[in-house]
Structure 1
Amino acid sequence: MAIPSPLPISAADSSPPGLAIAPVRVPRSMPPLDLLASRLLINSSGRRNVPSSWKLRAGLTAIEPDLNEDKYDRWRTNGVSPEDFKYGEYDGHHTYYEGNEGNFLESVAKEYEAAGPPTGFQGLISWLFLPAIFTGLAFHVPGEYLYIAAAAFTVVFCAIEIGKPDQPHNFEPEIYNMDREARDKMIKTYNTMDVWDFNEKYGELWDFTVPHEDIIKQLKSLD
């Protein structure tokens, strides 16, 4: 009677009992389990679906927000009744007054007056400065005389400009937070007093970190 041959012994079974088995290596392309669990989506039927990789990369798994499908009124006045709404002023539309601004020369004159140009003798020397320079160049006046004339013009122009009374926009922005009556009287006093005398009397007013109720009351009491 033939004896059946024993089964082949594998390499793992033939290893000695004291030798540890090498760990199984996981390929790097396989994502961690917690990342897969975080990408699970539950549909309306309660079943969990793992979205495909191309949907994740394309961002198609994000929940789309609700869209505002209400009718949009392009002529709305934002809380102001149409009767009280000043069109062209509240909305700042640049074509509302189109055609009512006059001709080109009138618009240039308005822009020039809005800039606060020099007037009087200061305006006269300002208008004559460039023609005088070109006339000197045309008659071959030495450059030293032109430089002296330009320096004299600069000194005279700046002296007249410094002598002008200060306006509210010449002061610090914190001045506009003052009481209007006290601010106007302060500017009037500043223009009529010497700057050193004003700083000696009202110098603490420039410290805007603390209130100056006493100085404001003193300014409001002036005539």
Structure 2
Amino acid sequence: MLLPAVATVSPPPAAAAAPARETRPSVPRRHFLAAGHPRVEPPVRRNTDYWRLGVDLTAIEPDLVEDKHDPWRTNGISPEDFKYGEYDGHHTYYEGNEGNFWESMVKEYQAAEPPTGFQGLISWLFFPAILAGLALNVPGEYLFIGAGLFTVVFCAIEMRKPDKPHHFEPEIYNMDREARDNLINAYNTMDIWDFNEKYGELWDFTIAHDDIIDQLKTQK
């Protein structure tokens, strides 16, 4: 007797375990490019609203006048009434009408504060006297003696003139005005030795002489 075949149920074979995936750090591909190849950096997204409000870019900019206009217009004043060189401030419109050559020379000469009086007289006669001595064959020793006397007399007169604020050092010129004026007045009226003994330390600009300056302010 044939026995029926007994179906034997066998458990399914165990599934093969999936290979474990090795975790590696994510490195951008640009780092693997060979040297010499260009690398494209990813754009960086910034919050533009923050700095846009911070610099006040929301203000309305006035429109520029781009229409064509006459370059010689006089801005609302008729050309007949417009004073050229005065209203537009053009300094070359009246150029050459300030006076002749000799008038400009006189202005420059007066601005240099030339010597006057006896000092001015000997100054103007110095070169003519030298030329006259050369023309008359005056010995050179006398010409040198005359030039030396002129120098001594001229310097003596010049040294006796009162000094002005711009004759002094910048530190003295920039002092308090009242103290500076009193100091210059004392310099022009006192003996030079007495002045140096009393105010000589003031010329040491590395030290603040507040006591001397306060003393000068109280002087009348």
Q: Give me the TM-score of the superposition, normalised by structure 1.
A: 0.58
Show the counterpart of 1:16.
none
Report if the CA contact (8 A) 2:166-2:173 is conserved. Answer: no
Match for 1:128: what amino acid? L
Q: Does 1:179 align with 2:176?
A: yes
Show the counterpart of 1:195.
192
Show the counterpart of 1:145.
142
Match for 2:179: what amino acid? A
| CA displacement 1:24-51 (0-9 Å, x = unmatched) | xxxxxxxxx86x36xx364999xxxxxx
Query: What is the CA distance between 1:98 and its match in structure 2?
Result: 2.1
| CA displacement 1:115-154 (0-9 Å, x = unmatched) | 1111111110000001111111111111111111111111
CA-atom RMSD in angstroms? 3.2
Are the structure 2 counterparts of residues 93 and 118 from structure 1 closer, same or farther at C-alpha, using a change threshold of 3 Å?
Answer: farther
2:100 is aligned, of 86, 90, 103, to: 103
Query: What is the CA distance between 1:203 and its match in structure 2?
Result: 1.8
Question: What is the distance in 2 between the residues matched to 1:170 and 1:117?
Answer: 15
Question: What is the distance in 1 between the residues matched to 2:120 and 2:39?
Answer: 78
Question: What is the distance in 2 between the residues matched to 1:156 and 1:172?
Answer: 26
Question: What is the distance in 2 between the residues matched to 1:163 and 1:212?
Answer: 28
| CA displacement 1:47-87 (0-9 Å, x = unmatched) | xxxxxxxxxxxxxxxxxxxxxxx9799xxxxxxxxxxxxxx
Q: Which runs of 5+ in 2 are unaligned?
A: 1-33, 44-62, 67-84
Q: Which runs of 5+ in 1 are unaligned?
A: 1-32, 46-69, 74-87
Show the counterpart of 2:166.
169
Question: What is the distance in 2 between the residues matched to 1:177 and 1:112?
Answer: 28
1:154 is aligned, of 111, 129, 151, to: 151
Are the structure 2 counterparts of residues 137 and 93 from structure 1 closer, same or farther at C-alpha, using a change threshold of 3 Å?
Answer: farther
Show the counterpart of 2:25.
none
Match for 2:141: what amino acid? E
| CA displacement 1:144-190 (0-9 Å, x = unmatched) | 11111111111111111122111212211111221011101110111
Show the counterpart of 2:80.
none
2:126 is aligned, of 120, 126, 129, to: 129
Show the counterpart of 1:210.
207
Are the structure 2 counterparts of residues 166 and 93 from structure 1 closer, same or farther at C-alpha, using a change threshold of 3 Å?
Answer: farther
Question: What is the distance in 2 between the residues matched to 1:122 and 1:136?
Answer: 21
Question: What is the distance in 2 between the residues matched to 1:188 and 1:175?
Answer: 13
Are the structure 2 counterparts of residues 192 and 72 from structure 1 closer, same or farther at C-alpha, using a change threshold of 3 Å?
Answer: farther
Question: What is the distance in 1 between the residues matched to 2:185 and 2:127?
Answer: 36
Q: Give me the TM-score of the superposition, normalised by structure 2.
A: 0.58
Displacement over 3 Å in runs of 4+: 40-45, 70-73
Query: What is the CA distance between 1:105 and its match in structure 2?
Result: 0.9
Show the counterpart of 2:69.
none
Are the structure 2 counterparts of residues 208 and 106 from structure 1 closer, same or farther at C-alpha, using a change threshold of 3 Å?
Answer: same
SS at match of 1:210: coil
How many equivalent pairs are there?
148
